[in-house]
Amino acid sequence: MTDAVRAVRLRKTYGVASSAVVALDDVSFSLRRGSVAALLGPSGSGKSTLIKALGFVSPAEKGQVFFDDRLVVDDGVAQTDLSRLRRQHLGFVFQKANLTSFLNARENVELACELGGKEQGRRRARDLLSYLEVINREDSYPEMLSGGEQQRVAIARALANEPTLILADEPTAALDSVRSRSVMELFRKVAHDRGAAVLVVTHDHRALDVFDVLYEMEDGRLRPYQGQGA
């Protein structure tokens, strides 16, 4: 399969002059459709900054990002409508599910379908909840769902626009080991079944066998994962 996203020599700094902190230091990266990758590393290593750059939330000031082999960011300058690209082709999952409290599970996914320009939102939402095995909770509001159920609904919401790329930032940090593994396995299922590329930022080493490829970051640099204690 082709690359969903490819980054070439990204550089991102915060601050100015002598106080500048290099968050991304010459980072090159690619992720193919249908694959699921883990991104590990200590806090402050640049993981979330890379997610934001790849998700066009906060582009790097140097380097290029290609999406489906099309140049979309060049040295911090957008080459296309990034808001539309995010809305129609990217999915996001975060540590907290951040579901809309006054909407039930199905309505949360329906809203994402509408924002992504997908028709038949109700049917699509029900199909996604069924796919993620929470259709029995479609009428439940977020406060009635367990942490694992909320994340399944959040993943369904991320799938609403049939994304090419899903970016997940610490999606299992608040879950126990059993629920954490279940969510990680769902990401693999989504990637392999639906041809999406999935990048998961995580500190959890208990389910690394789920992933097709492992990366780690340290001091703004990206490299293949070398194992704990390496």
Position 117 in a domain: yes
The mean per-residue pLDDT over the stretch 52-80 comes to: 93
Q: How far apart are CA 43 and CA 45, in angstroms?
A: 6
For residue 179, what pLDDT band results from cuts at 50, 70 and 90?
A: confident
Task: Please state the domain count of the chain.
Answer: 1
User: What pLDDT, in 10s, does the model give residues 67-123?
Assistant: 999 999 999 999 999 999 998 899 999 988 899 999 999 999 999 988 877 778 889
230 pLDDT more than 50:
no
Position 230 in a domain: no
Q: What is the pLDDT at residue 158?
A: 93
Average pLDDT, the chain: 92
Q: Which residues contact 177 (CB under 8 A, 6 or more apart)?
A: 206
Residue 29 lies in domain: 3-224
Task: Indicate the DSSP class of residue 28.
Answer: E
Q: What is the pLDDT at residue 151?
A: 92
The mean per-residue pLDDT over the stretch 140-159 comes to: 94
The mean per-residue pLDDT over the stretch 157-175 comes to: 91
Q: How far apart are CA 145 and CA 164, in angstroms?
A: 28
Least confident of 20-24, 94-98, 217-221, 226-230: 226-230
Percent residues over pLDDT 70 in the chain: 98
Position 229 in a domain: no
The mean per-residue pLDDT over the stretch 9-23 comes to: 88
Position 178 in a domain: yes
42 pLDDT more than 60:
yes
Position 215 in a domain: yes
Instruction: Please give the structure tokens belonging to residue 125.
Output: 């939402």
14 pLDDT more than 70:
yes
C-beta of residue 202 within 8 angstroms of C-beta of residue 170: yes
Q: How far apart are CA 164 and CA 191, in angstroms?
A: 10
Position 107 in a domain: yes
Percent residues over pLDDT 90 in the chain: 75
Q: What is the pLDDT at residue 203?
A: 85
Phi, psi of 179, rounded to the nearest 5 degrees: -70, -35
Position 110 in a domain: yes
Indicate which CATH number applies to the domain containing 54.
3.40.50.300
